[in-house]
């Protein structure tokens, strides 16, 4: 065992960041850097252990980017290095896999006019499919898989903080997001609730230009005769689930609340749900993904 590793006073957090090319590895490394990690990209696999053990004394946590562009990259070599690192009790090693829908990856490459590293003179989609077949064993080994197909940079940052925040209190963090069904269900959601059955403020002239963050919209939604019963049922459903998720070792739970336009009903219910979660002692953060939608 390397002596530098053996005498580290506290486990050094190491996040290996991999996944599909174009899925946001650079953004994830930047997000982890903002959280206090030292970020290193595309270091040869054979040098990872040397990088971790090369600094004596307490070390900053590390986020290391590794993908098919990395020199000496190979699935067998990568998994062997991962297994070796995990034998060291002085290290807290996590594997983060970034995924994205093929069509979205193709769109990103088209918009940036970049060549996929495995496409050569073939269509981009061929390179994407080839890469997916190569890296699928890594996804199966990952501690955390993040699908960035519809993930904004802000939502990615929140998710990284929930999973890998350095100052986080042990336990479950809950991320609540409102969304528009027109824009699609958030792919990262663990639980999804549809509130399109509630009275729609969009059809009230004085309210259509407001959002669920405005008091008048909230008051209108609360006049729906089914709202109180719905929210009580929602709270009753979630209350026993939260500690069970925590007991299973889940550190981050994403709850998505959707309506037609993502501007009124889902926004109000999301805010009210986050308020209830905090009153229950949960750590809850909120994002309104589609609040700028034009209409409900």
- pLDDT, tens digit (0-9, with 9 covering 90-100), for 164-202: 888 766 667 898 999 999 988 988 889 999 999 999 999
By C-alpha distance, which of 100, 45, 41 is closest to 76?
A: 45
Higher pLDDT, 123 or 52: 123
**Mean predicted confidence (pLDDT) in 230-259:** 91
Judge whether residue 211 has pLDDT over 70.
yes
pLDDT at 123: 86
Which range scores top for mean pLDDT: 83-87, 94-98, 244-248?
94-98
pLDDT at 178: 95
- Assign residue 248 a region (left: φ > 0; alpha: ψ between -120 and 50; beta: otherwise): alpha
Judge whether residue 133 has pLDDT over 70.
yes
d(CA 263, CA 275) in angstroms, rounded, equals 18
DSSP string, 113-169: TPPPTTTTTS-HHHHHHHHHHHHHHHHHH-SEEEE-TT--HHHHHHHHHHHH-TTPP
pLDDT at 239: 95
d(CA 196, CA 253) in angstroms, rounded, equals 23
Helices and strands counted in the chain (H then E): 11, 9
Handedness of CA 34, 39, 42, 45 (dihedral sign): negative
pLDDT at 7: 45
Beta strands at 144-147 and 252-259: parallel, antiparallel or unpaired: unpaired
Q: What is the mean pLDDT of the chain?
A: 86
CB 258 within 8 A of CB 274: no
* pLDDT band at 54; cut points 50, 70, 90: low
- Residue 264: phi, psi to the nearest 5? -115, -80
pLDDT at 22: 92
CB 287 within 8 A of CB 157: no
Judge whether residue 231 has pLDDT over 60.
yes
Judge whether residue 275 has pLDDT over 90.
yes
Q: Among 98-112, 229-243, 280-294, which is the least confidently predicted range?
A: 280-294
> Residue 283: enclosing H or E segment and its boundaries?
strand 283-288
- Rg (C-alpha) for the chain, rounded Å, is 22
Q: What letter would DSSP give residue 223?
A: T
d(CA 4, CA 58) in angstroms, rounded, equals 10
């Amino acid at each position: 065992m390397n002596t530098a590793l053996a005498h580290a006073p506290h486990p050094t957090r190491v996040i290996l960041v991999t996944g599909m090319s174009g899925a946001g590895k650079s953004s994830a490394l930047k997000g982890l850097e903002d959280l206090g990690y030292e970020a290193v990209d595309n270091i040869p696999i054979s040098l990872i252990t040397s990088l971790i053990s090369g600094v004596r004394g307490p070390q900053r946590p590390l986020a290391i980017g590794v993908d098919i562009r990395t020199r000496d990259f190979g699935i067998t070599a990568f998994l062997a290095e991962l297994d070796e690192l995990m034998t060291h009790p002085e290290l807290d090693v996590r594997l983060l896999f970034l995924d994205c829908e093929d069509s979205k990856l193709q769109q990103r490459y088209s918009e940036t006019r970049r060549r996929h590293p495995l496409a050569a003179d073939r269509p981009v989609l061929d390179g994407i499919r080839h890469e997916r077949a190569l890296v699928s064993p890594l996804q199966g080994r990952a501690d955390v898989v993040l699908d960035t197909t519809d993930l904004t940079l802000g939502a990615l940052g929140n998710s990284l903080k929930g999973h890998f925040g350095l100052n986080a209190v042990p336990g479950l963090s809950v991320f609540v997001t409102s969304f528009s069904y027109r824009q699609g269900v958030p792919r990262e959601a663990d639980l999804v609730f549809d509130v399109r059955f509630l009275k729609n403020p969009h059809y009230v002239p004085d309210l259509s230009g407001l959002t669920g963050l405005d008091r008048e919209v909230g008051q209108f939604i609360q006049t729906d005769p089914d709202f109180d019963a719905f929210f009580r049922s929602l709270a009753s459903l979630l209350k026993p689930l939260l500690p069970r998720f925590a007991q299973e070792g889940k550190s981050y739970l994403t709850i998505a609340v959707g309506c037609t336009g993502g501007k009124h009903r889902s926004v109000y219910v999301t805010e009210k749900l986050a308020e209830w979660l905090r009153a229950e002692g949960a750590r809850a953060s909120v994002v309104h993904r589609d609040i700028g939608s034009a209409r409900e």
